[in-house]
Amino acid sequence: MKPSRGFAALTVAAAAAAMITTPADATTGAVSDDSVRYAWLSSCAKKDYKVPCGNWMLTMRSGKTVKLADARVHPKQARGKVDKETNALFAVSGDGRSVNYIKGDKLVIRDVNSGKVRPLPGGTADLPKGLGQDSVDTTLSPDGSIAVVDYFDAAEKLPSLVANLKTGKVTKLPSKNSVLSFSPDGQHLLTGRFTDDNITEFAVFDAEGHETSSQVVPQIVSNNAPIALADDGTTVTLVITGGSGKPRLRTYDLSSDTVSDAVPLGTPKDESAQRLYWDAAGTLTLWTSRGDEEGTVISAVKRTVNAGTGTTHRLDSFKVRTDPWTWWLPGE
């Protein structure tokens, strides 16, 4: 089971069990050069259905599996009751070197190499009064230096907060805008909102929280995912999957409100697009998942994509852990 983030649910994970370790506390731990391949949470049977259980786990690129004993598994609702049938928030930075979760009642970020854990800055570690932990979500910038905290209050009046973990500065985003994508350098943030006319508007904000561009977008852009924002802050690339089930790639220019012609996406028929992003070198990268006959995800594949032709080149692939409750890729 995978919870939704904003407009789309994107992600994948896998298994390859090795030594399980518990990372050091907030101030100690040997520094290494490892990164998260995927994060996951187990599921357990309860009568005729399943619930999340165990601890949040990190499978590292080194092959090591790390248990996060301090990461909250079940969210606490507004009145204090713990909901044991769903999972609390979790996020992984795009570079896989930072993870964000709830420790006790506070939002924290962990450096996965040093083991250092610290609260989000500027008061963003604490939830607003009257809001449960099941009504908040976070997104990290590619290098983990910026955290966006989204609140899902019934009145939609609480603004999203953009917390800079390096400077401690916190800026606000409009309450009705949901995070869709960071640019690779973390300097631009693509958001979307539904207008009163039931149409979708995209808006891009810079690192200071200023809106740099906005556009009411065509349905072919708003109704498809995954989606990725480039470093220029205006180029948006997305995967289109129509009735034929054959994925295609399109590019949308926010400044000119134009959509490119679709090109076939060079992925096998048994794979589904999970996550799309540009990296700092200007390379478009796609994560896909493969499912079995019952629709259960069994493996994940990482590919580079030629944005002009749709051709792909495989970089990585791995099997998915059997029957997890949820799993997150770096950048999710």
Q: What's the confidence (pLDDT) of residue 324?
A: 87
Given a cut of 80, is residue 330 above it in pLDDT? yes
Q: What's the confidence (pLDDT) of residue 16?
A: 34
Joined together, the tokens standing for residue 6 give 């904003």
Q: Under a CB-based contact definition with an 8 Å cutoff, are residues 226 and 274 in contact?
A: yes
pLDDT tens, residue by residue, 17-29:
333 444 443 333 3
User: How would residue 281 be classed by pLDDT, with cut points 50, 70 and 90?
Assistant: confident
Q: Which residues contact 240 (CB under 8 A, 6 or more apart)?
A: 220, 224, 247, 248, 249, 250, 262
Beta bridge partners of 236: 229, 252
User: How would residue 306 be classed by pLDDT, with cut points 50, 70 and 90?
Assistant: very high
| Nearest Cα to Cα of residue 87 among 57, 120, 115, 60 | 57
Given a cut of 60, is residue 307 above it in pLDDT? yes
User: How would residue 323 be classed by pLDDT, with cut points 50, 70 and 90?
Assistant: confident
DSSP 36-82: EEEEEEEEEEETTEEEEEEEEEEEETTS-EEEETTS-SSPBPTTS-B
pLDDT tens, residue by residue, 60-76:
989 899 999 999 999 99
Joined together, the tokens standing for residue 198 give 């039931």
Percent of the chain with pLDDT over 90: 70
pLDDT tens, residue by residue, 191-227:
999 988 889 999 999 988 899 999 999 999 999 999 9
pLDDT tens, residue by residue, 230-249:
999 999 999 998 777 789 99
User: How would residue 13 be classed by pLDDT, with cut points 50, 70 and 90?
Assistant: very low
- Report the alpha-carbon distance of residue 115 to residue 118 in Å, rounded: 10
Given a cut of 50, is residue 6 above it in pLDDT? no
pLDDT tens, residue by residue, 101-114:
999 999 999 999 99
The answer to whether the bond into 330 is cis (omega within 30° of 0) is no
Joined together, the tokens standing for residue 285 give 């990268």
Q: How many CA atoms lie within 13 A of 60 on its CB side?
A: 23
- Report the alpha-carbon distance of residue 238 to residue 215 in Å, rounded: 16
Joined together, the tokens standing for residue 164 give 């800079």
Q: What's the confidence (pLDDT) of residue 154?
A: 87
Decide: pTM greater than 0.95.
no
Given a cut of 80, is residue 14 above it in pLDDT? no
Q: Backbone phi, then psi, for 233, in 5-degree steps? A: 75, 5
Q: What's the confidence (pLDDT) of residue 1?
A: 43
